[in-house]
């Protein structure tokens, strides 16, 4: 079957780490939507990049109190888009929110609930966001790779110890639960083994398509991550924030966990070039990929 998944889905997109927007304007681009986002004294402000006064680029603006200030004539625009000078039209606002150490925008008009981690509802996490990196493959390939358990052994040195279980916790969510054992001997493998009593028990949830949460029980500790993809031509921007349970040395533990996640993700980059969306087989190992593609196809039709 051919998949017709458009470049922009009606979903939340991860555009920055929570600590990257403090007091400064960050640009974002999701499909045809270009905008500016900042954390101001009044909270998050996300606006279309085009200033409604004379069209200057708000992505080059600055933050002043609760507003994004246009770089050309210095007028400010608040979270509701309103200009601080009467007689100037409002800027177009973009739905924005913050969760799991990350900032999300939504290109549609009626966003659903923000991405969330659900496995341990009472657990408070300390989050650490990684700098965005671009991978030279389409975003759909990146998502398919996350659900492709068949490559865990060859690329990530993990052996699957229990078959995946699927569920749809909400209409816009597809979850895959599975467990692996670390079999590699690299530095990140040894460190992960040190943190894991036996197996690594994982919940991977696609939220609307472009965002995934990864909730990992290592036995001795837990980690959570939120990973977002944003299409960029033939490539993909990948962003993530990683959380560890609050407590002693939280910030340092979060950075170590972040390094483990980034190392894991980077193992895929050299082998993904040219990879197709769909396996040419009917092996049982390929089922997770088929499930994800069907889910994305369904989301595309929403």
Binding residues (CB under 6 A) for ligand FES: these are 51, 53-54, 56, 70, 72-73, 75
- For ligand FES, give the closer residue by CB, 68 or 257: 68
Contact 241, 223 (CB under 8 A): no
Minimum CB separation of residue 234 from ligand FES in Å reads 33
Taking CA 182 as the corner, what is the angle to CA 180 and CA 186, rounded to the nearest 5 degrees?
A: 150
End-to-end Cα separation, the chain, in angstroms: 19
Contact 9, 300 (CB under 8 A): yes
Question: Cα(111)–Cα(197) distance, rounded to whole angstroms?
Answer: 40
Task: Give the one entry of ligand FES, Fe ion, none that residue 51 binds, where binding means its C-beta sits below a cut-off of 5 to 8 angstroms depending on kind.
Answer: ligand FES
101, 268, 293, 296: residue in contact with Fe ion (rule CB under 5 A): 268
Please tell me the count of residues contacting Fe ion according to CB under 5 A. Answer: 2
**188 lies in the site for Fe ion, by CB under 5 A:** no
- For ligand FES, give the closer residue by CB, 85 or 190: 85
Task: Give the one entry of ligand FES, Fe ion, none that residue 227 binds, where binding means its C-beta sits below a cut-off of 5 to 8 angstroms depending on kind.
Answer: none
What is the number of the residue whose Cβ is closest to Fe ion?
Answer: 268
Task: Give the one entry of Fe ion, ligand FES, none that residue 92 binds, where binding means its C-beta sits below a cut-off of 5 to 8 angstroms depending on kind.
Answer: none
Task: Give the one entry of Fe ion, ligand FES, none that residue 48 binds, where binding means its C-beta sits below a cut-off of 5 to 8 angstroms depending on kind.
Answer: none
Task: Give the one entry of Fe ion, ligand FES, none that residue 268 binds, where binding means its C-beta sits below a cut-off of 5 to 8 angstroms depending on kind.
Answer: Fe ion
Could you list the beta-strand ranges (E) of 85-148. 96-99, 102-105, 125-129, 133-135
- For Fe ion, give the closer residue by CB, 40 or 205: 205
- For ligand FES, give the closer residue by CB, 73 or 220: 73
Nearest to 89 by CA among 59, 140, 50: 50
Nearest to 207 by CA among 96, 141, 296: 296
Question: Cα(136)–Cα(134) distance, rounded to whole angstroms?
Answer: 7
């Amino acid at each position: 079957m051919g998949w017709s998944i458009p470049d922009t889905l009606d979903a939340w997109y991860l555009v920055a780490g929570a600590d990257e927007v403090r007091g400064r304007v960050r640009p974002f681009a999701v499909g045809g939507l270009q905008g500016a986002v900042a954390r101001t004294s009044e909270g998050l402000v996300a606006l279309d990049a085009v200033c409604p006064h004379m069209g200057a680029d708000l992505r080059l603006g600055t933050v002043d109190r609760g507003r994004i200030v246009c770089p050309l004539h210095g007028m400010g625009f608040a979270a509701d888009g309103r200009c601080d000078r009467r007689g100037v039209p409002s800027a177009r606002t973009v739905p924005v929110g913050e969760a799991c150490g990350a900032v999300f925008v939504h290109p549609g008009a009626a966003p659903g609930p923000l991405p969330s981690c659900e496995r341990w509802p009472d657990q408070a996490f300390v989050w650490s966001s990684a700098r965005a990196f671009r991978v030279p493959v389409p975003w759909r390939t990146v998502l398919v790779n996350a659900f492709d358990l068949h490559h865990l052994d060859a690329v990530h040195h993990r052996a699957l110890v229990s078959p995946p279980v699927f569920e749809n916790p909400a209409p816009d969510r597809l979850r895959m639960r599975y467990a692996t054992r670390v079999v590699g001997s690299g530095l990140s493998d040894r460190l992960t083994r040190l943190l894991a009593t036996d197996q690594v028990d994982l919940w991977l949830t696609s939220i609307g398509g472009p965002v995934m949460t990864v909730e990992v029980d290592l036995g001795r500790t837990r980690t959570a991550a939120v990973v977002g993809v944003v299409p960029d031509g033939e490539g993909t921007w990948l962003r993530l924030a990683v959380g560890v349970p609050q407590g002693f040395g939280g910030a340092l533990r979060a950075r170590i966990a972040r390094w483990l996640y980034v190392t894991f993700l980077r193992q895929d980059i050299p082998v993904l070039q040219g990879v197709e969306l769909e396996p040419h087989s009917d092996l049982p190992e390929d089922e997770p990929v088929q499930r994800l593609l069907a889910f994305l196809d369904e989301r595309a039709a929403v």
